[in-house]
Structure 1
Amino acid sequence: MSSLSIVLNFQAGLGVLANMFLLVFYTFIILCHRPKPMDMISCHQTFIHIVLIITGTDIWLWDIFESLNIGNDFKCKTNFFITRVMRGLSICITCLLSVFQAVTISPSSSLLAKFKYKLKKYMISAFLFIWSFNLLFSSHHIFHAGAFTNMSETNQMKVSKFCSLFPMNYIIRALILTTAISRDVFLVGLMLATSAYMVIILVRHKRQHKHLHSLSHLRASPEKRATQTILLLVVSFVVTYWVEFIISSTAVLLWMYDPVTMSVQKFVMNVYPTITPLIQISSDNRIINMVKHMQFISHQIFKKT
């Protein structure tokens, strides 16, 4: 196994474990407590990231498929389609999370305040629209992806060891790419705008209430922690998403396949779904308090034994 494969598998293992932990945590919160709208979105996001990591790591997925008596063409179409859908869902759900956060913390005097108490009402509709849009938008991959054949390599582009993209009309290819770029620019722009809005609100709130905090409280204030989390998530998403988008778009436009480049693309694509749960775990006081409580209980049991 090459060094790149080891790195990809380690990254995938870390990402799946961290997201599984969050998925179990948010599922418990939703079923046993009164969840916040953000909990439902984050639970949805963790599920999407688990599927995205698994489908983005060919070794894992093909090991699973080996036990099934299914043709390679169907496997390739399914893998490529699910990966593209999950990739689109990731940016949509992240944008949705950012918008809902902005509405939640908006002051009562703002125009967004009237939507605060309608978040749960619009939640299911937002999920249904996002899933329907991305399933429809990625449907063309079913026809333009499949198992690698004996055709001339100029007529198809390998995207993994077993799968390839088949040729399509240049105009259609450019149209699909333009539509994808337009969607991503809009969503990333909306995400950056709402994140900047949240940062402004939190900084303004911090300044207005600065005299109420002691130095120790100010150092670890909720406003400061929330601001740092928002900035970190937005910056990491924008950077990794567009780096991966540039790599994949360039490969499709130039119709060139390079195994190392594709491995780097997979690594970059899995960076965000891997670091997102780590950031959320380290910034969610409920998880931190739960871990401290579990440590205390285990320490007490250890002392008794």
Structure 2
Amino acid sequence: MPSKDLAIGIMFLLQTVIGIHGNFSLLYYYFFLHHMESRMKPIDLILKHLLIANSLVILTNGLSRTMVAFGLKYLFNELICKLNWFMLRVGRAMSISTMCFLSFFQNITLSPMNSCWNNLKIKDSKYIDFSMSLCWLLHLGLNCIFPLYVLHALGNSESKNITRKRHLGICSVVDYGTTMGSVYIALVVSPEISFIMLTVWASGSMILVLYRHKAQVKHIYSSKVSSRSPESRATKSILLLVSTFVSFYTISSIFNIYTALFYNLSWWLMSISDLTSVCFPMISPFLIMSQNSSISVFQFVWIRNTKSSIIKNI
């Protein structure tokens, strides 16, 4: 195995293991919360959908690229390639859409009573589930066309007549020149960039609302504890999650534009592009944990009880 394949394979493996551990741990927490309580908070419902979308991206992109790097490409046939590409596109689109939805939801929730957003405040969590389910159905429908152009990278009898293909790891995509690239940018990349820009705008509005509120109640907090005020903690949480989301997905979208427009892409460029696309799904659950003390307490108790039960069985 070439050293470059080994290095990339180890990086994808680390991303996959860390990302699956973080997302599945939080999903377990939310399912536990749903089982113990009759109703979940609206923000928890949104985060649950974000974690599911992140897990799809990691399992399709991270796991498949790990297997390819370690020489297991022969395990994939054309059907698996199509399914893998389809689930990757849906997971990525849902991850970006959910972050945008989360930013607007927080913005509307924090808006003052006299704001124009006040009438849009969601008071029942069932509307969250309906909105997110509708979003899943929308992305499932929009992305169903792209697997039609996906082929197995090793080639088969059905793809022998294809003269021009783009190799994308385990799969290849039929290349129809700049026309197909333009369609891909219009239907996939442009909406992604639009959602990212809307997320930035909503988060910026949120921070402005929190800053104004902090200025209004400044006399309540002493200078010693002002840095630990609820407004400061909320602002830091928003900035941390959104800046990470915008940074990684903007870079990933730029790589997608380059991939769509140019032919004969280098192996290193494709590897860096795939590594970047998995970064936010891998990091985001740990950012959520770091800003939610109840999750940290839950994990500590769960780990302690698990260790206790293991010791008792020994």
- TM-score for the superposition, normalised by structure 2: 0.85
Q: 1-side partners of 2:196 and 2:145: how far apart? A: 23
* Residue equivalent to 2:147: 142
Given the superposition, is the C-alpha separation of residues 127 and 300 from structure 1 closer, same or farther in structure 2, using an over 3 Å criterion?
Answer: closer
User: What residue is the counterpart of 1:188 in the other structure?
Assistant: 196
Deviation readout 1:259-303 (Å, 9 max, x if unpaired): 2222211110111011111110000121234356679989999xx
For residue 19 of structure 1, the aligned residue among 1, 18, 23 is 23
In structure 2, what is the Cα distance between the partners aligned to 1:125 and 1:294? 31
Where is the helix percentage greater, Structure 1 or Structure 2? 1
Whole-angstrom distance in 2 between the partners of 1:79 and 1:260: 21
SS of aligned partner of 2:117? helix
Distance 2:127 2:305 in 1: 40
- Write the distance in 1 (CA, Å) between the matches of 2:232 and 2:103: 17
Offset at residue 29 of structure 1 (A): 1.7
Tell me which residue corresponds to 2:273: 265
The CA distance in 2 between the partners of 1:56 and 1:296, in whole Å, is 33
State the Cα distance separating 1:122 from its structure 2 match. 2.5
Consecutive unaligned residues of structure 1, counting only runs of 5 or more, are none
Alignment correspondent of 2:248? 240
Paired residues of 1:54 and 1:61 also in contact (CA < 8 A): no
For 2:151, what is the secondary structure of its paired residue?
Answer: strand
Of residues 56, 59, 62 in structure 1, which corresponds to 2:61?
56
SS of 1:158 mapped into structure 2 = strand
Count of residues in correspondence between the two structures: 296
Alpha-carbon contact 1:146-1:165 (below 8 Å) kept: yes
Secondary structure class of the residue paired with 2:125? helix
Matches within 5 A, 1:150-161: 151=160, 155-160=164-169
Q: Percent identity?
A: 27
1:105 to 110, 114, 120: 110
**One-letter code aligned to 2:107:** A
Aligned partner of 1:227 in structure 2 is 235
Contact 2:12–2:66 under 8 Å retained in 1? no
Q: Residues 5 and 147 (structure 1 numbering): CA distance in 2 closer, same or farther, change over 3 Å?
A: same
CA distance in 1, matches of 2:65, 2:184: 28
Asked if the contact 1:159/1:257 (under 8 Å) is kept, the reply is: no
8 Å Cα contact 1:102/1:197 also seen in 2: yes
- Give the RMSD, CA atoms, in angstroms: 2.9
Structure 2 counterpart of 1:165, one-letter code: V
Does residue 167 (structure 1) correspond to residue 172 (structure 2)? The answer is: no
- Structure 2: runs of 5+ lacking an equivalent: 310-314
Matched residues in 2 for 1:166 and 1:280: separation? 39
CA contact (8 A) 2:189 2:257 kept: no
